[in-house]
Amino acid sequence: MHKTTFNCLGLTKRIVQTLKKQQYAFPTPIQEKAIPLLIERNDLLGIAQTGTGKTAAFGLPILHHLSLEEKRPVAKSTRALILAPTRELAVQIGDALKVYGRDIPLRHTVVFGGVGQNAQVTAMRRGVDILVATPGRLLDLFNQKHIRLDFVSYFVLDEADRMLDMGFIHDVQKITALLPTERQTLLFSATMPPGVIRLANKILHNPKEVSVAPTATPVKTVEQKVIFIDREKKRSCLVKLLQEATFDRVIVFTRTKHKAGKLAEQLTKSGIKSDSLHGDKSQSARQKALDLFKSGKVSVLVATDIASRGIDVDDVTHVINYELPMVPEDYVHRIGRTARAGASGSALSLCDKSEIPHLTKIEQLIKTKIEILEGERPQSDPPERSGKISKKKRKKRKKSFKKIVNF
């Protein structure tokens, strides 16, 4: 079968050579679809999540355009602006640009909150070609006149759905209003809730739409299993699993920030080196946890869904769902943290009775029945024959359902 190569997408020779050095043999689907449209200067609505190669999908065309234009950045300004919801994602995009732009003499920097601003102010003094920023810090620096936004001709809004979830909509609107209207705008989002659609309609001009749908298709190299277990036995089961030698680098997911912090503490007390990553931690504490995990000093990271977005750690051997997510798409995001870049990985879900409805929704989304590793799947209610069920029976069922939910 004929496969598109990076040569066919219209990128400069220099960029194609860099990708070769990087051993990127073929573009990913989002890259194949988006890059030619972006080189033709279309606005773009990209429906794709982290892990699909979307950073290169928007980063490469920006590097392409900027390197061909004979312009230098004006002091304190930037020619391209990439907005990301979290510091981790911003840093990750900055790192990717370093790699993709290593053979091109362009300046870029990253600004984010939670740390002192002096180094960021200095980095912006002479102006940059590409600025990656989180919204709050960008506005802070703009208001203090350390950054000007009137030279932006490429604007990327990354992970728009998370941006809205995290309450950045007003900041995003303010920033957008400060940009020149003559610009190329790209919006990426894993999901398209109404808020994102409204925002896209406001900021994009005749956009082309590209969508890759890994949301419902977990990477094939992830082995998925489920353990049916009582809620109160989950912790001892987790400890046992983590003591096995193959559980080398593990992300454990919980539903709440509180639970993530508590579980990491409990695991540490049981002699398992772990840390947590959640939104109640300061930026520097989150970065520290991530660095410890990356360097292998802690082997277990307990995380919530939002905090885990954009974690780009290779060689994660296992993802454990200590609690199943309420939103089935989050399951796919979670297990995508393992088996990256072609490696294999395992995802294990500890499912108690009350979580069966979530498990069912997940299985419907991924169109797969997850293999059982231990325990037995509790019987679900027989299908209702409408109208034929007596009032008394219905009452009884309601009661037993309540019992399951409160389990």
> Interface with ligand AMP by CB under 6 A: which residues?
24, 27-28, 31, 50-56, 312, 341
Q: Give least dist CB 140 to ligand AMP, A.
A: 27
Q: Which is nearer to ligand AMP, 110 or 263 (CB)?
A: 110
* Closest by Cα among 228, 47, 59 to 129: 59
**Which residues make Cβ contacts (< 8 Å) with residue 78, sequence separation at least 6?**
124, 127, 128, 129, 130, 131, 147, 149, 151, 152
Q: Give least dist CB 28 to ligand AMP, A.
A: 5
Q: Give least dist CB 196 to ligand AMP, A.
A: 18
Q: Give least dist CB 315 to ligand AMP, A.
A: 12
Q: Which is nearer to ligand AMP, 59 or 328 (CB)?
A: 59
**Cβ–Cβ under 8 Å, residues 295 and 282:** no
Here the tokens at position 239 are 């400890």
Q: Give least dist CB 203 to ligand AMP, A.
A: 21
Q: Which is nearer to ligand AMP, 56 or 359 (CB)?
A: 56
Q: Which is nearer to ligand AMP, 291 or 384 (CB)?
A: 291
Q: Give least dist CB 166 to ligand AMP, A.
A: 19
Q: Which is nearer to ligand AMP, 24 or 151 (CB)?
A: 24
Q: Give least dist CB 334 to ligand AMP, A.
A: 15
Separation of alpha carbons 126 and 75, rounded Å:
4
- To which residue do tokens 């001009």 refer? 205
Q: Which is nearer to ligand AMP, 19 or 111 (CB)?
A: 19
Q: Give least dist CB 338 to ligand AMP, A.
A: 13
Q: Which is nearer to ligand AMP, 50 or 299 (CB)?
A: 50
Q: How many CB atoms lie within 10 A of CB 403?
A: 11
Q: Which is nearer to ligand AMP, 31 or 78 (CB)?
A: 31
Residue type, 169: I
Q: Which is nearer to ligand AMP, 52 or 254 (CB)?
A: 52
Q: Give least dist CB 32 to ligand AMP, A.
A: 9
